Amino acid sequence: MTPAARLSAAIEVLADIEARRRPATDALKDWGLAHRFAGSGDRAAIAGLVYDALRRKLSAAHRMGEATPRAVLLGMLRLDRGLDPAAIEKLCDGSRFAPDPLTPAERAALARGEPDDAAPSHVAGDYPDWLDGALARVFGDDRVAEGRALAHRAPIDLRVNTLAAGRDKAMAALGHLAPKPTPWSPVGLRITIGPEAKSPPVHAEPAFIKGQVEIQDEGSQVAALLAAAKPGEQVIDLCAGGGGKTLALAAAMANKGQIYATDLDKRRLAPIHARLERAGVRNVQVRTPPPGADGLDDLVDRADLVLVDAPCTGTGTWRRNPDAKWRVRPGSLAMRIAQQATVLDRAATLVRPGGRIVYVTCSLLADENADQVAGFLKRHPGFAAVPPAETAEVLGEQASAFLDAVLAGPEGLLMTPRRTGTDAFYVAVIRRAG
């Protein structure tokens, strides 16, 4: 397909997403099924255009003066990809499979100089209007800059599984992908890909198949590191899901001690078994919950560490899930807040005296982060928040720079793409009195 035909396809897919209010992955999949002639490079390029357009949906529409899928795609090419008006004009030449030629209004909008200071914060920062107050509460005037950083593509981050390889060995094995060490996680590698490039099939790499690396955002790696799980400890991963953090905890514990991994939803837990095996993890007992219970009553008051990687709005992962940004609703936030309190209260019963709960979200919102921890501490006077400076000590010589980078409060700390170059993760360590 020509670049112009790819652009036409992206406009078509975006129109489908908007008209039927469906997830981008579904719309892209359907487009692929209906256009079997398109190769994998075409599909990746079209997906890249669609996701970039979703990332910049409001600012691109504002630039163009209209919010049609075509306008959003054209505005994104100008704002995000840095294409000049002549290059965009060339793509829209009206030939077969190419978008229609530019109108005079489109030409004028594309030629306008940047930046447009008249845009409201949520437009300039590309986030939903209804979240402006909540983001202002956390970031103040920085919310636009934080939103912009969340509207960029994320790199591919890998966690080296130290049960199977050191970072240098894994880096050498993946040399053809040019991975670089990540700044904060001592076991992280980062692969940066251009906007037009296909994501490398990391799953097919021998290093991946041998369990030497896992795909995991550096923020998620750091959140697991801050839990400071030590060899020999008794650990409960209460919201283990597919096991991303379970695997990181097991490596930090050098396979010694015991991790009990569970999740309210046993379907989410299902992939963990194959992942544990591939990674050579031997200290995890998966507790699939029996109907109507969590199957953890024998562990009450026993855990050194309970990790609560809580269900949340996922507002911190907008770089990777740009269409989720436009689908989050006040109702889903309220539901997550209630679930978080339930899980935290269960964690309080499982941790031993002197043990700790590590509360993690991939949310930016204070309601899910500091407020949630403050509410927990009110309900449970026998617990206290560990100061972030103490929590960060596990990062060794990186600790002080990390503390400077994050947004720290009395209850916990927040990483963000703008501050730490990671997805946004909130981490609070809460200790039970001994």
**Would you count residue 275 as binding ligand SAM (CB under 6 A)?**
no
Answer for which of 47, 240, 284, 333 binds ligand SAM (CB under 6 A) is: 240
| 115 prior amide bond cis, ω within 30 | yes
Site string for ligand SAM, 278-297 (x = CB under 6 A): --------------------
User: Between helices 244-252 and 272-279, what is the axis angle to 10°?
Assistant: 30
Q: Which is nearer to ligand SAM, 16 or 263 (CB)?
A: 263
Q: Least distance from C-beta 127 to ligand SAM, angstroms?
A: 20
Report how far residue 375's alpha carbon sits from residue 370's, in angstroms, rounded to the nearest whole number: 9
Instruction: Please name which of 207, 155, 145, 146 lies closest in space to residue 181, comparing C-alpha atoms.
Output: 155
* Residues that contact ligand SAM, how many (by CB under 6 A): 17
Helix (H), strand (E) at residue 258: strand 258-261
Q: Least distance from C-beta 247 to ligand SAM, angstroms?
A: 8
Q: Least distance from C-beta 263 to ligand SAM, angstroms?
A: 5
**239 in catalytic set:** no
Three-state DSSP at 354 gives strand
Query: Is there a binding annotation on residue 168?
Result: no
Report how far residue 68's alpha carbon sits from residue 11's, in angstroms, rounded to the nearest whole number: 9
Q: Which is nearer to ligand SAM, 313 or 420 (CB)?
A: 313
Q: Least distance from C-beta 358 to ligand SAM, angstroms?
A: 11
User: Can you say how many angstroms the Cα of residue 293 is from the centroid of all Cα atoms in its chain?
Assistant: 29
**Would you count residue 409 as binding ligand SAM (CB under 6 A)?**
no
Query: Is there a binding annotation on residue 132?
Result: no
Rg (CA), the chain: 23
CA distances from 389 to 128, 400, 418 (A): 33, 8, 20
CA distances from 420 to 47, 209, 414 (A): 26, 29, 9
Answer for which of 84, 116, 196, 265 binds ligand SAM (CB under 6 A) is: 265
Name the β-bridge partners of 408.
413
Given 92, 239, 312, 362, which residue is catalytic? 362
Q: Least distance from C-beta 240 to ligand SAM, angstroms?
A: 5
**Would you count residue 387 as binding ligand SAM (CB under 6 A)?**
no
What is the footprint of ligand SAM within residues 327-346 (CB under 6 A)?
A: 339, 342-343
Residue 372 in contact with residue 359, Cβ under 8 Å?
Answer: yes
* Catalytically annotated residues: 362
Q: What residues form the annotated binding site for S-adenosyl-L-methionine? A: 263, 309
Binding site for ligand SAM (CB under 6 A): 238-245, 263-265, 268, 309, 311, 339, 342-343
